[in-house]
């Protein structure tokens, strides 16, 4: 099914050549959405052709408008607002579009062909020294949704996780548990494994700060104290022992990491997310060291007098970057180099998307440039999907650590809010306990996921739990409620199959708006895929739900006496519900049949 832009591209190029004697590329044509104040299905920006015409914007637009109306049978009329040509398509055109859309169950979804580009998407990437938090939730939801959108746009997609399971931060938790844990484990403590390990990470920092304060009082600077505090020296020694393969340290590391993995799995399950493959930095950092040795041999890298290995990127205005510490231990860049090389060797991707916060923009510029300087052309396909921080309006749901908003606590809080909303509205009446639990989890997750995904990834955002759960406005539960409302209408109609459309009927303006929105679904998917932004798809879906409710307020469905019109409205309603469900699945959100 062609978009309006595709339908008009060739006629417009013909118009410019015929009227003004100029050749233009279809890709140069500028379209925009028609201003709601004016009639029109699509707007052509005429200003680029004013000089060619040698006339004013309105006169130029009128010439093009007349040409198109005569050349394109689907166009019924046009109107001009300064240099903007608003083009109106016949109602018969729109009826034909919905007639073609209705039978296509996977409307808007492209088939994944053998020749399709292969995209790897890395997201989550947690550290094994603490539980997942609100920032991780935005990361996970973005990564999962982008993956689903890319699949719907016809790409081969592989979702991967990189677990940061080694390094000084991991050793801090291990050392603290060794000193003050008294053998505590998830079963004896009643804590999820990731929460238990996070507890000892906080414990380390508490004792570390005390040691620093003592050293500062003894006359050391803060910088000196932080480097010479006994605890940090012990943690550094533990890291060196880990990298040397000391058995006792490795066993403790495996024990505590397994606790964390169990905890992470529970959180991922609650969010409805899974990965095609998980990589572990403990397996890739050594490969990174091999890559660094290769770079030294090629004179791409430089070894400083203190033994640290760097890459000099001052010419690219990125300064010098340490790739290996002076004591020979790896840094994040070491393992990221190794991970990237291993992945491409195992799965030769065309594009690799890193879903990581915007504070790491410098890091990923260096990673990409470093791999390119090593002569790896595939590194051009690396892309950093940078996103802004997410915060809460108050600290009510902060975790026991007192510094971050815990993911598990937030999920539980959203489910409680869904229960309160459902009780107030009587949405749970007549449901079994299992049905109630499924619905409240579904609504709570929709509130959380949609509120986060509707914001452009690049923007910093404020997550307001109260606003997100509302059944009115641009929220997940509102769209879920619209879907459930439609399913209820269809059930009450008693129809087992969606009836055929009688194309001779007249359509209401609100019906035309709905058809136009449905017609734009494939474009909305492609736009979201090209921009790596679920926000555009989320807001498309909200607009669809809003238009349906406007239509339903003025157009009778079940009580309509004209059978042909009733059947048309039922078929239209069915298409709206199907599209909402399809779009929400790409956002990682389920929709209920009743609510």
* Coil, helix or strand at residue 118: strand
Pair (445, 543) in one structural domain: yes
- How confident is residue 329, by pLDDT bands cut at 50, 70 and 90? confident
* Coil, helix or strand at residue 481: helix
Q: Say how many domains are in the chain.
A: 3
Residue where one domain finishes, among candidates 271, 293, 308: 271
C-alpha distance from residue 438 to each of 321, 433, 434, 507, 553 (Å)? 49, 9, 6, 39, 30
Please check whether residue 467 lies inside any domain of the structure: yes
Per-residue pLDDT tens digits for 357-403: 999 999 999 999 999 999 999 999 999 999 999 887 764 434 334 45
Per-residue pLDDT tens digits for 408-436: 999 999 999 999 988 888 888 888 999 99
Please check whether residue 306 lies inside any domain of the structure: no
Please check whether residue 292 lies inside any domain of the structure: no
Q: Read off the pTM.
A: 0.92
Please check whether residue 339 lies inside any domain of the structure: no
Please check whether residue 512 lies inside any domain of the structure: yes
Question: Considering only CA atoms, which of 499, 511, 573 is closest in space to residue 103?
Answer: 499
C-beta neighbour count of 445 within 10 angstroms: 22
Pair (70, 204) in one structural domain: no
Q: What is the CA radius of gyration of the chain?
A: 29
Please check whether residue 130 lies inside any domain of the structure: no
- How confident is residue 332, by pLDDT bands cut at 50, 70 and 90? confident
Site of tokens 């809003």: 546
Question: Are 337 and 292 a contacting pair, CB within 8 Å?
Answer: yes
* Coil, helix or strand at residue 32: strand
- Answer whether residue 491 shows pLDDT above 70: yes
Per-residue pLDDT tens digits for 179-193: 999 999 999 999 999
Please check whether residue 370 lies inside any domain of the structure: no
Per-residue pLDDT tens digits for 202-232: 999 999 999 999 999 999 999 999 999 999 9
Question: Considering only CA atoms, which of 230, 198, 185 is closest in space to residue 212?
Answer: 230
> HEC states along 298-344?
CCCCEECCCCCEEEEEHHHCCEEEEEECCCCCECHHHHHHHHHHHHH
Question: Considering only CA atoms, which of 563, 427, 557, 590 is closest in space to residue 489?
Answer: 557
Q: Which pLDDT score is estimated for 403?
A: 54
Please check whether residue 305 lies inside any domain of the structure: no
Q: Phi/psi at 32 (nearest 5 deg)? A: -150, 165
Residue where one domain finishes, among candidates 30, 54, 89: 89
Domain containing 528: what range? 407-586
């Amino acid at each position: 099914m062609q978009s309006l832009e595709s339908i008009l591209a060739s006629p417009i190029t013909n118009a410019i050549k015929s009227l003004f004697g100029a050749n233009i590329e279809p890709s140069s044509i500028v379209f925009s959405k028609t201003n709601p104040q004016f009639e029109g299905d699509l707007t052509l920006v005429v200003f680029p052709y004013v000089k060619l015409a040698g006339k004013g914007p309105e006169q130029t637009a009128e010439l093009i408008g007349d040409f198109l109306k005569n050349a394109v049978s689907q166009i019924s009329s046009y109107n001009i607002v300064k240099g903007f040509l608003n083009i109106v398509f016949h109602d018969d055109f729109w009826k034909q579009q919905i007639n073609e859309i209705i039978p296509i169950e996977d409307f808007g979804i492209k088939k994944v062909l053998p020749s399709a580009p292969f995209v790897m998407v890395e997201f989550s990437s947690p550290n094994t020294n603490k539980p997942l938090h609100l920032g991780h939730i935005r990361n996970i939801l973005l990564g999962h949704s982008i993956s689903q959108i890319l699949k719907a746009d016809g790409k081969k997609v592989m979702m991967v996780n990189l677990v940061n399971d080694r390094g000084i931060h991991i050793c801090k938790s291990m050392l603290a548990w060794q000193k003050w844990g008294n053998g505590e484990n998830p079963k004896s403590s009643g804590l999820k494994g990731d929460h238990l390990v996070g507890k000892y990470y906080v414990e380390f920092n508490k004792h570390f700060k005390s040691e620093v304060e003592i050293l500062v009082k003894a006359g050391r600077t803060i910088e000196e104290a932080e480097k010479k505090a006994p605890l940090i020296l012990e943690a550094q020694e533990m890291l060196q022992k880990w990298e040397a393969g000391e058995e006792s340290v490795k066993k403790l590391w495996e024990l505590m990491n397994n606790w964390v993995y169990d905890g992470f799995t529970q959180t991922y399950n609650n969010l409805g997310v899974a990965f095609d493959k998980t990589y572990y930095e403990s397996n890739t950092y050594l490969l990174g060291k091999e890559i660094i040795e290769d770079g030294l041999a090629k004179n791409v890298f430089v070894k400083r007098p203190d033994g640290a290995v760097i890459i000099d990127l001052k010419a690219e205005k990125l300064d010098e970057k340490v790739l290996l510490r002076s004591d020979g231990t790896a840094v994040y860049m070491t393992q990221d180099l190794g991970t990237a090389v291993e992945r491409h060797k195992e799965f030769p991707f065309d594009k690799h998307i890193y879903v990581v916060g915007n504070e790491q923009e410098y890091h990923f510029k260096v990673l990409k440039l470093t791999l390119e300087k090593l002569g790896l052309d595939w590194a051009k396909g690396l892309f950093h999907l940078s996103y802004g921080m997410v915060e809460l309006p108050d600290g009510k749901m902060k975790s026991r650590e007192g510094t971050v908003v815990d993911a598990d606590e937030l999920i539980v809080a959203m489910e409680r809010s869904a229960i309160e909303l459902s009780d107030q509205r009587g949405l749970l009446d007549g449901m079994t306990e299992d049905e109630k639990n499924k619905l409240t989890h579904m609504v709570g997750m929709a509130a959380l996921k949609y509120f986060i995904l509707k914001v452009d990834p690049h923007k910093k955002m404020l997550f307001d739990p109260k606003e997100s759960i509302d059944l009115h406005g641009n929220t997940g539960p509102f769209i879920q409620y619209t879907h459930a409302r439609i399913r209820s209408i269809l059930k009450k109609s008693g129809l087992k199959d969606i009836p055929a459309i009688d194309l001779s009927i007249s359509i209401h303006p609100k019906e035309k708006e709905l058809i136009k929105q449905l017609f734009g679904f494939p474009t909305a998917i492609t736009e979201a895929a090209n921009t790596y932004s679920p926000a555009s798809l989320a807001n498309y879906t909200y607009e669809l739900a809003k238009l349906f409710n406007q239509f339903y307020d003025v157009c009778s469905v079940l009580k309509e006496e004209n059978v042909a019109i009733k059947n048309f409205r039922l078929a239209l309603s069915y298409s709206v519900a199907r599209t909402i469900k399809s779009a929400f699945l790409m956002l990682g959100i389920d929709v209920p049949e009743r609510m």
